[in-house]
Structure 1
Amino acid sequence: MVQVLRMRGVRILLGTTAAVVVGALGFFAWQSFYPVQASQGWQVKVLHTSIAKAASLLPLADGSLLVSRELDDGRGSILKITAQGDRVVLVEGLSKPDGMVAVEGGWVFSQEGGRAPVSLQRDGQVTPLFEGESVQGLWNDGDYLYAIEDRRGNGRLMRYHWHTGQLDVLRSGLSETEGLTRCNDGRLLYTEKAEGRIRALSDDGQDPIVVDNLRNPTFLMCDQRGLWISEDSTHRARLLRIDGEGQRHTMLTFLKAPQAIVADGKGGYLLAEGGRNRVLQLTPPAEPQTAQVEPR
């Protein structure tokens, strides 16, 4: 009798364990495959697929799109997708290419995979500009190129002068600072991913917090609709927008490791979703049409 009870107890325990395991696997599968949801009135669709670890995006004037593939150990590259959908690798042998910004006659890219140069690509030639350690975010204002390092406790915010080649370290001792952008009001913003906040570079060196209580903020972008923030989380990540009045709007949900967001030049946006190896297109609600009055 005792042996029978023991066997029954073992079966119950095994059954319970199996149910927990199946439930957990089902939950993770649901998080991975649940479709991305857009804010009311907005539309989201998959624009490009099969782009391993898509990270940075840079639309070009000819309608093509540059995408960095954030693979490590020299396996990373920068891919050009033409307006017709053809794909050409422009730069390869990189370690986690993660930042990309347009400059006159070309573009600049960074590498987050350890010590590597921030480089300029122009006329098919790659020219190193300056050395960095795990550089991610970039911002170009014409006179200066800003770069920020994603390191723990010893990251730097740097400024490179285009005309003189001088490199200034504006901040040091930073931790997990990834995103970098300038807004229409002139503020240069950067993220502190682990702390869940965004700071503004200030002349007094205090760098006030302008947004907090975020989840793993990474890439930033400012435009007329406000400040856009992507969350570098593996599951159930979001794309957020903070409008001019400080109100937060969740624009996309159920993302997987979203990275750069850029304007698509058509009134909408492109978002690299590195966790699913693809690029999404986000389209705003259609503008209401004004009724046309026929002349009498």
Structure 2
Amino acid sequence: MINALRKRGIRLALATTASLVACTLGFFAWQTFYPVQAAGGWSVQVLHDSVAKAASLLPQADGSLLVSRELRNGRGSILRITAEGDRVVVIDGLSKPDGMVAVDGGWAFSQEVGGAPVIVSRNGQVLPLFQGDNVQGLYNDGGYLYAIEDRKGDGRLMRYDWRSGELDVLRSGLTETEGLTRCTDGRLLYTEKAEGKVRAFNPEGEDPVVVEGLNNPTFLLCDQRGLWVSEDSTHRARLLRIEGDGTRHTVLSYLKAPQAIVPDGKGGYLLAEGGRDRILRLTPPVEQRTAQSASANPQPGS
């Protein structure tokens, strides 16, 4: 009798353990494969898939798209996807290429590793601009190129002068600062990922918090619709839009490690979803597309 009860107890324990394991695996599978959800009126579709660790996006005048693939140990690259869907690696041998912005005659990009330079590519030539440590976010306003480092306690916000070649450190002692953008009101914003905050650079003193309570905020974009924030979280991440009065809208949910968001030139947006190795196209409600096409269409930072 005792042996029978013992065997029954063991079978029950094993069955319970197996059930818990199955539930846990099922939960993680659900988080991984649950489809991205768009807010009412918005629509989302996969534009390009199988783009390993897609991070930054830079649409080109010829209809092609530059994508940084944020792979480590020299396996990263800048990929060009043509308007017809063909793919060509234009720069390879990179380590965690991350931020990427248009500059006069080409583009600049960062590598999020120690001692790697911020690089400019023009007319087939690739040249270093300045050294950084784990540089991620970049923002170019034509006169200056801003860069921010993703480090723990010793990150810097820097400004490179295109005319003189001088590099100024605007802030130091930063922690997990990743995204960088300028808004139409002139504010230069950056993210503090671990703190869940967005701050505005203040040359006169302490940088005020303009948004808080976020979940691993990373890339930023400011445009006429407000401030866009992507959350670099492995599961159930969001793409948020924050209006000037602070009102928050969850435009996309159930994302996996979303990265850069950029205008697509057609009234919508492109979003790199690095956790699923793909690029999404986000289309606004019809009335918003109509209103935008009738406007002057200001660029972020203008």
Q: Name the TM tier (shorter chain).
A: over 0.9
Alpha-carbon deviation of 1:246?
1.3
Matches within 5 A, 1:102-117: 102-117=102-117
Q: Give SS of 1:178's match.
A: strand
Pairs within 5 Å for 1:228-239: 228-239=228-239
SS of the equivalent of 2:287 reads: coil
Q: Which residue of 2 aligns with 1:208?
A: 208
How far did 1:243 drift? 1.2
The number of aligned residues is: 290
Q: Distance in 1 between matches of 2:175 and 2:223?
A: 26
Structure 2 distance, partners of 1:100, 1:222, is 16
1:120 aligned residue: 120
Q: Which runs of 4+ in 1 moved over 3 A?
A: none
Which residue of structure 2 lines up, in the alignment, with residue 170 of structure 1? Answer: 170
Secondary structure of the residue aligned to 1:160 is strand
User: Where does residue 158 of structure 1 map in the other structure?
Assistant: 158
**Equivalent residues in 2 for 1:1-296 (5 A)?**
1-287=1-287
**Aligned position for 2:297:** none
Tell me the distance in 1 between the aligned counterparts of 2:18 and 2:114: 42
Aligned residue identity for 1:168? D
Asked if structure 2 preserves the Cα contact closer than 8 Å seen for 1:193 and 1:218, the reply is yes
Deviations 1:32-81 (A, max 9, x none): 00000001000000000110000000001111100000000000000001
Aligned equivalents of 1:100 and 1:41: distance in 2? Answer: 30
- Distance in 2 of aligned mates of 1:61 and 1:165: 27
Query: Within 2, Cα distance between the matches of 1:270 and 1:245?
Result: 25
Letter in 2 for 1:173: G
**Rounded Cα–Cα distance in structure 2 between residues aligned with 1:167 and 1:203:** 16
In structure 2, give the amino acid aligned to 1:144.
Y
Return 5+ residue gaps in structure 2 as ranges: 292-302
Please give the TM-score of this superposition, normalised by the length of structure 2. 0.95
How far apart are 1:244 and its partner, in Å? 2.2
Q: How many angstroms does 1:261 deviate by?
A: 0.2
Give, in whole Å, the separation in 1 of the partners of 2:34 and 2:89: 31
Counterpart residue number, 1:293: none
Task: Output one character per residue of 1:105-164: Cα deviation in whole Å (capped at 9) or x when no partner.
Answer: 100000002220000000011000000000000000111100000001110000000011
Distance in 2 (CA, whole Å) between partners of 1:105 and 1:184 is 24
TM-score, normalised to structure 1's length?
Answer: 0.97
Identity %: 73
Report how far residue 205 of structure 1 moved: 2.5
Contact 1:193 1:216 in 2 (8 A): yes
SS in 1 for 2:52: coil
Check whether the contact 1:73–1:113 (CA below 8 A) recurs between aligned residues.
Answer: no
Question: Counterpart amino acid of 1:81?
Answer: I
